[in-house]
Structure 1
Amino acid sequence: MTKDSKSWRPFTANCCSADDQTIFGNFSRCKTSKSDFSKNIGPLPSFRRLSFSDLSRSSSTRINEDLAQTFGPDLFDFQVSELRAITQNFSTNYLLGEGGFGTVHKGYVDENLRSSLKSQAVAVKLLNIEGLQGHREWLAEVIFLGQLRHKNLVRLIGYCCEDEERLLVYEFMPKGSLENHLFKRLAMSLPWGTRLKIAIGAAKGLAFLHGAEKPVIYRDFKTSNILLDSDFTAKLSDFGLAHMGPEGSNTHVTTRVMGTYGYAAPEYVSTGHLTTRSDIYSFGVVLLELLTGRRAMDKTRPKNEQNLVDWTRPYLSSSRRLRCIMDPRFGGQYSVKGAKEMAHLASLCTSLNPKDRPKMPAIIETLEAIQPLRDMAVACGQWPPSPKSSNKYVVYAPKGNKDSKIVVIKNSRMGVNIKSK
């Protein structure tokens, strides 16, 4: 399952399917709830009828006028020439990453670019016109992040719509993505406490989206879309696939299946029915990745271990079995009780029955209760030795001295001690 692979052509008359038009039908109805997870949002602008389908068929000039009227000074309307200047013409030396959408480059803005801009590093996403994401996804990002403000959502600073060019300008996230920290060989392994902090931050971001009066379904929750600031605060990024949730008596919305294989909820894949519980399944998959240090889907592993949810399921209900799938890079430095609680939570989140999955406030409460726990596995004697070596082994002396042998006792902290007998 991949994002739409058709090449984008701007402003065609029928670029939106009927279900896509419902995404942005009327943003004046998208109000925040008064829950604890929504109260941190700033006052939303009063959206006049900002129609996705209308904007998709408009010229770039008309789109800029409509967006400027809607968002005012909250978002900057940049020119391509300005973004070229701050990224050294999108130099590979400033490349932060790339994907189906195109490339992301680091830049730097200050009051010389715009009088009201504070000096700061930024990330500039340059849309690849021939790529997997098109104009609709660009517009989704602008509309969603233009109105949503939360400490666990990446902040959109501005956008660029000039002829066929589509760009987005975000706050720069110095620690990169969670994916890079978990799965890139050169990255330092994340300790238990940091992984837990990231999980809580990402959960609060989802809770904020789900807690709106008209919920926002993120639809693409995964490690590569969880970005980290300088102190490892998690922020959700990439809202190109986000969707407004069901209204009234409706229990779901039906849409074309999009997202990332391994993270998408099975009922969504099979029926196209989308609810906030689809996001919760994806969240459970990320919890499993945090526990095991393995990817949601990994074709390089044996066939029975390629799908992380299927492989881990038999291990999640037993503390004794759970230690067999814990990320070995922890080295036993994780809470035994905390890991058990997180594993149980992941099991609930990835339940095949969507009704059995907990809601985000309950998930946050569970994760925050784990934070104070200090029963480290290595201190409790529950971290097994490496299966490739034992703590003690015998090396016999050379020929001619058969009665003598050397016992080598391996100590992970002190190195190797050699004793003669």
Structure 2
Amino acid sequence: MMRRRTTLLASCTALALALGATACGGGGPVTAGGGDKALSGQTVTVAGVWSGSEQKNFQKVLEAFSEKTGAKTQFVSTGDNVSTVVGSKIEGGNAPDVVMVPQVGVLKQFAEKGWLKPLSKTTRQSVDANYANVWKTYGSVDGTLYGLYFKAAHKSTVWYSPDALAQAGVKPPTTYDQMLKAGHTVSDSGLAAFSVAGQDGWTLTDWFENIYLSQAGPEKYDALAAHRLKWTDVSVVRALTTLGKLFKDGQLIAGGQKEALNTDFPGSVEKVFGPEPEAGMVYEGDFVAGVAKDQFGRTIGQDANFFPFPAVDGGEAPVVSGGDAAVVLKDGKNQKAATRLLEYLATPEAAAVWAEAGGFLSPNKNLDLASYGDDVTRATAKSLVDAGDSVRFDMSDQAPAAFGGTKGAGEWKLLQDFLRDPSDPKATAAGLEAAAAKAYRG
């Protein structure tokens, strides 16, 4: 407790120096007031993938920053193709000041193109005080820290309807085989076991990554993520074979493979938590809760809950994460204000603003868990923070965008093809290796 208190005070001191805060309370989230208004008259433009409720809630963070510093803020939603949109804005002389980068591979590409400004000393000190080393690693390129992970995702959560599992008489499983067995029992009770969002290829990469991390272990996961290990490796074929057992089982997937390929992520959540449920479970990250709550009125912890993605073949239960890293562009017109924004985002205070709004997890270990609005979110946040350096970042997000982050291409497309026909894992592995080799050379 003393160590945590000392760290929190250190980060608060850094915040005071950076933002002119006059006080920093230890008993809960810090208020956003008390700034020096030193950035009055400046405007910070922030680009990111967020839209809808995510954009609305991030705007609350930006408003807290404005209240503190006097700077105005403008958020621009890029859609999924962040690298293309930001690249065109830079070429057109209209670069944003800050970009919330959702993929490690894109962050690396930005750094290699010379687009990024290293994080300030104050931000680096806050990262050292508030984050596990793994987040520093994923935010760095060639030893230089460019990215601050503000929003994280816990992608090792399986969400379920408590009523559906209770009706089937099954409890949350702890192994992958138990999960499939429980799925058959749910199916026998009248609902499909899983809703799968096959229309969105990124959800399929998440399925694969959880299985692979648990089954093959973290060393091979890291090697495959960096393409030091070929996708034709026996460990990849084994993981695809394990995933294929689910994909080809007509009892387990709502509507079968064809319907899964026509179901997007929000639709997959609706099939479990909507007004006419078709399945008992849906695998995806903690952000499932936001859709279940905001779109379908579910009470998290009562009629929507989760269990950790279960261990596969005797391995450790996986903790796969994703996240959005804030970076400062060299070509932005307001670098001073942009730097101050990142110094703010690195603090527990900034994280608390979105945590209180909901639909958010922070990798900031000094954020008071009481900031989260419900016990389930607190549990997922605690699980992510407690995992420390054993967290592994979403593998597809570490890859070049051409392989791991492009709709209708690369890993997304190949795993959709595998969902359509999971009969030949070796052929799928060969296709993945060919696509990866091309993307990494590029």
Report the TM-score when normalising by structure 2.
0.24
Greater relative CO, 1 or 2 (CA 8 Å, sep 6+): 2
Rg larger for: 1
